[in-house]
Structure 1
């Protein structure tokens, strides 16, 4: 049975890998394992050891704490699941949302700020 922490950490690995534009094969090559093992980590099927998480964090250029961000919110006694909040959903699992975020950060900062302001105005209108 999958442990919720392993699932969360796996989602964060997938999220960061996708954000930097790295394939499972590339990440596996960097940390010295097969891409199938990366798949198992990302789904939470297999737990990531501390030393392997360290290697993955270095490969993805993040701190170890990155993989645990948001975990407190999920573990809170009164926290709602994504199913309870359909308008929120699981953005880390949505490939389109991740692609949008990656594209957004590829835009030069001045233009990105204007795009952000436009999106904020449009979302307030809706």
Structure 2
């Protein structure tokens, strides 16, 4: 049985790998393991050791804590926050923006739109 934390770490690994446009084979070669091992890490069937997690964080340019971000939602496994290919494409485009003011303005815009959609969803639910 896959532990929810292992599944979450695996999803975070997969998301970071996609954002960096790396294949499982790329990650495997960098770690010196098989791509099947990376598949097992991503599915949560094999646990990632602390040292391996650190290597992954360095390789993927994320802080080690990134793999545990969002764990408060473990009690609701239906809320799987996987990035769609479109989400990953937008994240890659945003990561290439170097002007801090522009990036900040885009973040505010996206947050506002997301908040608006959340408000609309709750309004629709309240009217049903």
Q: TM-score range by the shorter chain?
A: 0.7 to 0.9
In structure 2, distance between residues paired with 1:103 and 1:31: 27
**Residue 28 of structure 1: CA displacement?**
0.9
In structure 1, distance between residues paired with 2:73 and 2:28: 28
Superposed, 1:54-73 pairs within 5 Å as: 54-71=54-71, 73=72
Give the aligned partner of residue 16 of structure 1. 16
In structure 1, distance between residues paired with 2:64 and 2:104: 29
In structure 1, distance between residues paired with 2:6 and 2:111: 34
**Residue 103 of structure 1: CA displacement?**
2.1
Higher helix share: 2
**Residue 15 of structure 1: CA displacement?**
1.2
In structure 2, distance between residues paired with 1:47 and 1:122: 37
Give the aligned partner of residue 89 of structure 2. 99
TM-score (norm 1): 0.72
Structure 2: stretches of 5+ with no match in the other structure: 121-128
**Aligned residues, how many?**
116
Give the aligned partner of residue 74 of structure 1. 73
Give RMSD over aligned pairs: 2.5
